[in-house]
Every structure is written in C-alpha cells, then in structure tokens.
Structure 1
Amino acid sequence: MGSYSSEDVVFLLRNVGHMSLELDNVKREQLIQSGVHYSEMLPIEYQPSDAYMSLFNQTLDRYAERIAVAVGVVAEQIVALRGLDNLVLTSLARAGTPIGILIKRYLKMRYNKSVPHYSISILRGRGIDEVAVRYIFAKHPSAQVQFVDGWTGKGAIASELIQACDAFNAKHSQQLSAILAVLADPGHCAAIYGTRADFLIPSACLNSTVSGLVSRTMLNLQFMDKDDFHGAKYYQELEGVDVSNFYIDHITSYFEQVEQQVKEQLLQCTDHTVTWFGKEKVQIIQEEFAIKNINLVKPGVGETTRVLLRRVPWKILINPQHIDELEHILLLAQERNVPIEEYPNMSYACCGLIKET
C-alpha cells in the first residue's frame, strides 16, 4: 500500500479501497457528534486548489531546513535511548508516516544503518492495532519499538498510546514503551521531540497527497474482521498530484548541512518531562467558549489545519504573535468562510474550534 518505496516504509494496513466509506464533512460531523466513532467512516479527499499548492511549496521551502534539524534531533535522541541494533521505527498512521521515513533516512545518512520502519494505526478510544504490533514482533522478536508521530495537540493520541501499551504489555511477554517521538511537541505530551514550539510541519498542510496517498485509518467491524489489520484506502486517482516522495526528498537533501544545528538544538532538548501542559490551556479555552466536549477543541498548527481540511469549523483562534507563520490557515479559512478571532492568551500559534451540531 502507498506511493512510498517499500525501502522507506511498510504499511501494516488492510486496503479497503473496494468499500464506499467516504462522507462529506457536514454529514460526518453530525454522525461523530451523535456518537458514531470517527474511525467507522472516512472524509472525502479533495484535490487542493492551485493557490493552496503554491502556498504549500512556499511553506516547504521556508521550513525544510528547520524540519531537517528537528528530524536529526529526534533521531539522535532515539539512538541514545534505544540504540540501533534492534530499533524498529513504528509510525502512527498517517501523520507519523512521513516523519518516520525522514528519521529512517537520517539514520541511514548519519550511521549507515537501515532500520525497519512500519506504519500502523492508532485510533482515539479504540487503541493501537494489536494485530500489527504482533506482526512486528513476529518479524523482529527482539524489537525495540519506537513510536513516531508528527506533532502533539492536547495529547489525545499520546494518552491513547500509553493506555494501549499498558493493555498490550499486560497480555504479552514482549513489551512496548509508550515513549513517543514527535517533531513538534507544543502540548508537552512527548518525551522525545525536535522542538516544543508550535510551528508548521508542512506535511500537516495536506491529506493523502503528502502521506503516500493513504487515507486516514479506519476500523468498521461491519465490513472488517477484528483479527485483521486496521483499514485504509489508497487513492490511486490522486497520483497526478502526489507530492509524498517530493516532500521526503526535499527535506532529506538538507540533512548533511544541518549537522552543527542538530548538535546545538540537542543541547536545548534536555527536559524530557511530560507535563500535559497543552491540555490545561485547552481546558481554559473550552470553558471560555462554553464548549461542552473537549474533543471539539483542536490546538496547534497541525490540528487546526486538520479541522479546516476535514471537519466543520466554528471558528479559528489565532495568536497574533504568530500571524506571519499562519498563511495557510488564513487561506483555508478564507476558502471555507470560517471566521478568524485573535486570541493571544494561549501557548499555541492557533486553535481550531469545531462547530457543535
């Protein structure tokens, strides 16, 4: 599955391309807020506008070096913690997948070591794909599994990972560590991070077209076997606009020139304490805007982008200090007629608020 080379990643996902599970954002939002689990359906994948793709390319050029540094910082922390001999990178599909590939590429460049890399599903409220985890341990009995994601928001997936690892470890002799590695950790939910600043990771700007043409993952037992991998679609019809490998190659080209910056940044990443700081800030926003369900508050650049791309936004909060870094947020909000409100009293650059149905 996917448009990436199998040298870069192996997706442990069942291809559900024959199923019609996509719903428009409004219908999907109504079902989610009425109690249907978000993983039982898929959002429609839209082809981005020319203006938005132009902005993506500008953003990539602007942030490529910063991303390369963050990748190196994360990779070096992983090596220090787990070593290389039994390391198995395991990305959380789908936002984690390009990040896992970049870490794998960095390790090959820096240590001339090609480590295994898989991409598996984790779903809020349903845990990790244990079938996929068992597959990894069957292939690599001594695996030091390192979970990788793109960024943190308020920590829902980081919290889900802790619960999932505890549940798995209680049943199996092979053990998982819930220490999560991400590029950006503004929520202070990950012990391994490239930065705790809330900055744009360009792969957050797009959906499948920067993630190997793979949909978000899903689990619908009406159509699927509980003993199979979680599912996803491959969007072959979008191959003409796929920038997944272009994105990887562009950032990889910076690795050799950022060696000194990686060393300097590592000296600043000494605090590995997970405080869930971001969740406290989200609770303040939830109370101030009288939002009943905290899951309707999506803090950070990455999560706000997702709200605009595949949910039904109510409004977008912008921290005016970061306005110059949020061009794509402003463009998406304009295209979708979503109101913008300045809100300086938050640690995030922006925050997406989902409309209550």
Structure 2
Amino acid sequence: MTTTDGRRPTAEEIRRAPKVLLHDHLDGGPRPATVIELADAYGYTGLPSTDVDKLGGWFRGPSRASSHSGSLERYLETFRHTVAVMQTADALSRVARECAEDLAADGVVYAEIRFAPELHIERGLSLDEIVEAVVDGLRVGAGGTGLHARVLLTAMRHQARSLEIAELAIRWRDRGVVGFDIAGAEAGNPPTRHLDAFQYIQRANGHYTIHAGEAFGLPSIWEAVQWCNADRLGHGVRIVDDIAVDPDGKATLGPLANYVRDTRVPLEMCPSSNVHTGAAASIATHPIGLLRDLSFRVTVNTDNRLMSDVSLTSEFATLVETFGYGWADIRWFTINAMKSAFLPFDQRLDLINKVIKPGFDALAANSTPRT
C-alpha cells in the first residue's frame, strides 16, 4: 500500500522539490575529478586510476574492491582513497564547498553532512582546524543557494576517541555543528562502548544519531535506543527483523519495533547504499516499503553519493519507480526528515511551512499525470 495522489513525479520534478537530507558522509561524496586533483596536489599515489571516468567507475562498479560488493567492510575500504586526499584545510574546505554546491543543485534545502575529524589528522591539523575548514567550506558552497547546511561530527566506533569528538561537537555547537554520531563496522563494536560520549552529549543538551541496524541485527538497534538513548538511528534497516508479515500481508510488530514506532525514533534510510552493502537484497525488497506503510518515522537519504552513484533526487526517483510513490509520499518522507533534523524547533517549522509545503504544493499541482 502507498499513499499516492494520482501523479507520478518525474526525476526532473523531484530535483526541483525542496528536499531534506539527514545522512550524507562528506568523504563519501567527493567529485572524482576533485579526488584526482587533490591526489596530484598532495602527492598521493594510491588511486586505482587517474582518469576521471575510470576512477568514478571503480568507486561505483561491481569490481572486487569497489563499493558495490554486498559487504559493508568492502564498501568502507573505498574510503581510504577519499580520506587520503582530505588531509589539509584547503582540501577539506574544497570538498565541503563542492558538496554544498552539488546538494543545492539537487534541490536540497536542508542537509546534515557528517564526517569523522579523527580521520583527517595525518598532516598535522588539529581537530578544531578540521571542523573549521569543513564548516567554512559548507558555508561558502551554500551561500545564496537556499541550502541550509549543517555538520554532524562522527566518531569511529572501533576507536577510542568518541568522548573527545563528543566534546568537539559541543564546542562547535551554534557554529555550524548540530550533532554527534558514531560510524564504522557494527559487528564487534557495539554502541555501548561509547556510552560515556553519549551521556556527555545528553548532559550538554545536545543531539546525536547512531549507526545501528545496518550490517548488524536487532541487538545493535536495541542498544542504540535503550542503552544509548539515540535521537535517531542511522539506517535501522534490521528493525524489520522484529516484524512478522503473514501471507495475507498483515504485519505484527515485536516489542522493539513497536517501541521504535511508538516513540517516533527517526530512521535514516539509504536504500541504494543498503543494497550495495548487503543490508538489503534489492530496492524492491528493501524494508522501506513496509516501514512506510506501517508509518514508522522513515526518512530517505544518500549515505555516500560517490560510492553509491546517487543523489537524493535519484533515490526518490528509484522509490517512485519501485513502489509507485507519488507526491504525497515524497512530501511525507521530506517532512519526516525536517521534523527529525537537529535544528531548533522554530527553524524546522519555518522550513516546513515556508519552503517545503509551498514547494511541494506547487510541484504537485503542475506535475505529469500518472499513466
């Protein structure tokens, strides 16, 4: 079941829609040409190719080392190249600026861009210098475009710097940073290892999201929600393991799924990426369809625009094609995302009432009729 309104949005119409992006990794979205130019400028010789098309194809293609391997671990291996060329303030600022430009061109009006400062210290930058470079780059790239770009600071879950990064996030609050995150391979690295960081953020009245339920199952989600009190769940795909669907299509929710839905915990879903990492077998079988029908607080995101060869427009267009969604569905996902953003309430409300709802109303009134 979907909530369509009799019109099928085209990709170009979706591009013009005022969209909201909550889960996008800075080091997962550089332009291939930029990666090559930065590698040349800073003497990095490890790229698989210095041809723009070939390098882009390597990141996006089904080769052994590429991102589309069906394995989260292999997917993450590709980041060694993008991170390697993002080790100076100029490089970080450039990638952030181009990120904002690309999102604005894709019709995104609000975005939370996440990255792990601890991965960018190889050339001697301090953590504060790293954050400053990214915040400045996003500000310049978003200037005059209508995009409101903010930053989430990520700690790597297999390392021991999460409290330090949490303190960094609070230090930069109100200067472009709106929250905290942990990321990396889930198996063997439960979120409870970083409980002190989450408690620090809570005591400082901050916000945080946790990568959980992507490559690991319900225990990861349960810990993130019940032990760590996550404001949002990064991916959360495996919540479907707590939902039973009978042959007649009736869904019965288990206690954790009920809790997540009842308390409106936002799910930052990234359909294409989830297929590429093996979290879902295909878009058609992705849990987003069921979770949308069951009215979970689902949002649609890109995760890594380079590695998964996506934009927010293409993600929505894929969902339209796969599930038959119309403007009502895309608007629902978008308002879910804006409600779940880490902006102050009045700013969220302004964007919903003054930008998102009027933008969707205008597009729905003039879109191509469904055939």
User: Do they superpose with TM above 0.5?
Assistant: no
TM-score (norm 2): 0.26
For normalisation by structure 1, the TM-score amounts to 0.27
